[in-house]
Amino acid sequence: MAFVPTGPEASFFDALDRHRASLLAVVKQGTGKAPAGVTRVVSRFEDSVGLQMIPQCITRKIKSDSPKSVKKFALILKILSMIYKLVQSNTYATKRDIYYTDSQLFGNQAAVDNIIDDISCMLKVPRRSLHVLSTSKGLIAGNLRYMEEDGTRVQCTCSATATAVPSNIQGIRNAKFLLIVEKDATFQRLLDDNFCSRMSPCIMVTGKGIPDLNTRLLVKKLWDTFHLPVFTLVDADPHGIEIMCIYKYGSMSMSFEAHSLTVPAIRWLGLLPSDIKRLNIPKGSLIPLTKHDHMKLDSILRRPYISCQPFWRKEMEMMADSKMKAEIQALTFLSSDYLSRVYLPNKLRFGGWI
């Protein structure tokens, strides 16, 4: 059964359709290069992929005969043997499963996580090729149907409920756009306001803060499969911008797997620092930047990919000058449903993204 659009009339999506056409034009060039006017940066950053590990990176040596690293070496061999058995039997396990096989030996979950990342990097294969999965924390809702690896058919709905992000999917339906929402609370509020139904056909995803691997893989697969416009809705603060950058450009810790995780076509829909001034959000609804915020903002501004995003830089400089940040909830000053009924629809209709 096909989805029946219940959202706005077709002309509402004119700006989205034009944006998608421009994205497809870039894709059809076969290079994945950034649009004209964007300067390619010679660094760890590749504008068509994101942050990538460079060949001249520093290596870490683990020796079996060194007292300092003998335990780490033993743990690597232990996990490698488990991975071998998983691959041989064509079964999968989560990182949590591996930790609980001998929690006293591993000590903590972080030790397992770091070793699995090291093995994936050392073998130059995605973590999934090791048959090791992460427990999903993300949620997805909207006009989407897919089949899980075990054959289970899942149909997301445009209702007040969401589905856990799957670890693997076989088939996907289309939509007009994908909206990545930073926080679970905002995601749930949009569901309660029937945002997906009113903006149908669309898909919403949240990683509940910093996204896990499964959420990033799903966003990447939706982009690769349909090349539909992807937008982010994050707080107007350094932490929200950091999360947006992870989806778009990747993270240093997973740079060896950037090609399968990043979506450089992602656009910043909101909340923009310039929106705060444009909408006359009162100062009482804003939050002063902390010392940590200033340090994080300075760090982001120094990253190589920011030179490719002059509009992003302008917004961040505006935040630094004002010394204030704002959560998405600051929009409730205008009305309780301003975000879902006015802010987002206007942004999508009139191309209010950067």
The helix-helix angle for 310-322 and 291-301 (nearest 10°) equals 160
Question: Do the Cβ atoms of 99 and 79 come closer than 8 Å?
Answer: no
Q: How many CB atoms lie within 10 A of CB 85?
A: 12
> Beta strand pairing status for 230-233 and 177-181?
parallel
Alpha helices in 31-146 (DSSP H): 70-89, 95-101, 103-106, 109-123
Residue 100 known to be catalytic? yes
Q: What angle do CA 215, 124, 115 make, to 5 degrees?
A: 70
Backbone angles phi, psi at 336, to 5 degrees: -65, -30
Residue-wise DSSP of 62-83:
--TT-TTTHHHHHHHHHHHHHH
Q: Which of 84, 100, 247, 305 is catalytic?
A: 100
Catalytic machinery residues: 100
